[in-house]
């Protein structure tokens, strides 16, 4: 798999345009409740993420799956895009408490109106592959589109996308919502 620095992406893929045309959105991954935590503070640093916590690429403003969620939720909120955070049940987090003012769901298939929801995936590739298979078990659980943030992809995910002809519905391999989302939104009304 070739990893692309998100800053070098010049062409926004059709899948990104489709993604931004959805009426609703979800972010799947480690969503933190405490803005004072290191993860939230790090999301606003300009510069590279320490290699000890980075994915195969580290780029300013487009952080790997372990750190990006708080910043990405704020990105959606600032643009007033309807958003559902998704975080699996855990002893570490109280999912009954809102995150950035939003109610959390614990299972990706519990996202309301899933067929009309585009989902940002900011999780480990292993978990992402399992969620991808779960989402495409039935037409009822298929999202409008998916966007695997840099570092959340792997060869298994790429193979699944190709095998199921999802190339026009899944963004993978470099583009980042934080860097390319606004451009994709501007072009979302273009013919997909």
Q: Is residue 138 part of a domain?
A: yes
Does 71 map to a domain? yes
In a domain, 5, yes or no: no
Q: Residue 40's pLDDT is what?
A: 38
**Would you say residue 185 lies in a domain?**
yes
Domain of 72: which CATH number?
3.40.50.720
Considering the entire predicted model, what is its pTM?
0.77
* Structural domain containing residue 117: 14-36+67-190
What pLDDT score was predicted for residue 30? 64
What is the count of structural domains for the chain? 1
161 occurs within a structural domain = yes
Write the pLDDT tens digit of every residue in 139-174. Answer: 999 999 999 988 888 999 999 999 999 999 999 988
CA angle (27, 72, 114) in 5-degree steps? 20
Rounded Cα–Cα distance for residues 97 and 174 (Å): 33
Quote the pLDDT of residue 68: 40
């Amino acid at each position: 798999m070739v990893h692309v620095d998100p800053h070098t992406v010049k062409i926004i893929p059709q899948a990104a345009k489709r993604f931004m045309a959805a009426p609703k959105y979800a972010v799947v991954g480690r969503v933190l409740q405490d803005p004072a935590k290191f993860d939230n503070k790090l999301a606003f640093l300009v510069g590279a993420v320490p290699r000890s916590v980075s994915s195969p690429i580290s780029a300013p403003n487009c952080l790997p799956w372990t750190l990006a969620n708080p910043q990405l939720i704020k990105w959606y909120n600032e643009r007033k895009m309807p958003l559902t955070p998704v975080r699996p049940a855990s002893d570490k987090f109280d999912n009954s408490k809102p995150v950035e003012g939003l109610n959390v769901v614990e299972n990706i298939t519990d996202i309301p109106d899933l067929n009309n929801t585009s989902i940002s995936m900011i999780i480990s590739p292993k978990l992402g592959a399992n969620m991808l298979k779960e989402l495409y078990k039935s037409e009822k659980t298929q999202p409008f589109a998916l966007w695997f943030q840099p570092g959340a992809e792997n060869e298994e995910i790429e193979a699944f996308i190709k095998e199921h002809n999802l190339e026009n519905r899944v963004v993978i391999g470099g583009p980042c919502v934080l860097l390319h989302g606004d451009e994709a939104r501007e072009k979302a009304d273009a013919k997909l």
